[in-house]
Chain A
Amino acid sequence: NAGVTQTPKFRVLKTGQSMTLLCAQDMNHEYMYWYRQDPGMGLRLIHYSVGEGTTAKGEVPDGYNVSRLKKQNFLLGLESAAPSQTSVYFCASRQSSYEQYFGPGTRLTVT
Chain B
Amino acid sequence: AQKITQTQPGMFVQEKEAVTLDCTYDTSDPSYGLFWYKQPSSGEMIFLIYQGSYDQQNATEGRYSLNFQKARKSANLVISASQLGDSAMYFCAMRERALGKLIFGQGTELSVKP
Contact = CB atoms under 8 A, between A and B. Distances in A.
Contacts of A90: 45
B43 A100 contact: no
A58 interface: yes
Contacts, number: 59
Contact of B50 (A44, A99, A102, A104): A99
B100 A94 contact: yes
A58 B101 CA distance: 9
If over half of B's interface residues share one DSSP class (helix, strand or loop), that class is named, otherwise mixed; here it is: strand
Contact of B102 (A50, A88, A100): A100
B45 to A, nearest CB: 4
Interface of A: 31, 33, 35, 40-45, 48, 50, 56, 58, 88, 90, 92, 94, 98-102, 104-105, 107
